[in-house]
Amino acid sequence: MSKNLNSIIEALLFTSDRPLSAYEIHSWLADETLSNIKNALEELQSEYDTMGRSFVLKEVA
């Protein structure tokens, strides 16, 4: 997965004042597939786990 995509998604998540769904992120990054966005979110969570970060990504309904 592209580190650039991960960085863009991470920036969107950290600057948003509310939770964002993969579908919302996809609407802003229409050049990316929904599958790529979901994979990037999983990669970010894996990085956070490995680094012992004090936050997690959760899917909201």
Q: What is the rounded CA–CA span in Å between residue 37 and residue 26?
A: 7
Domain count, the chain: 1
In a domain, 57, yes or no: no
Q: Cβ contacts of residue 34 below 8 Å, gap of 6+?
A: 22, 23, 26
Q: What is the pLDDT of residues 1-58, one digit of tens each?
A: 578 999 999 999 999 999 999 999 999 998 999 999 999 999 999 999 999 998 889 8
- Is 58 within the bounds of a domain? no
Query: Can you give the pLDDT at residue 22?
Result: 95
Read off the pTM: 0.88
Domain limits at 30? Answer: 3-51
To the nearest 10°, the Cα dihedral for 40, 32, 22, 19?
Answer: 90
Query: Three-class SS of residue 2?
Result: coil
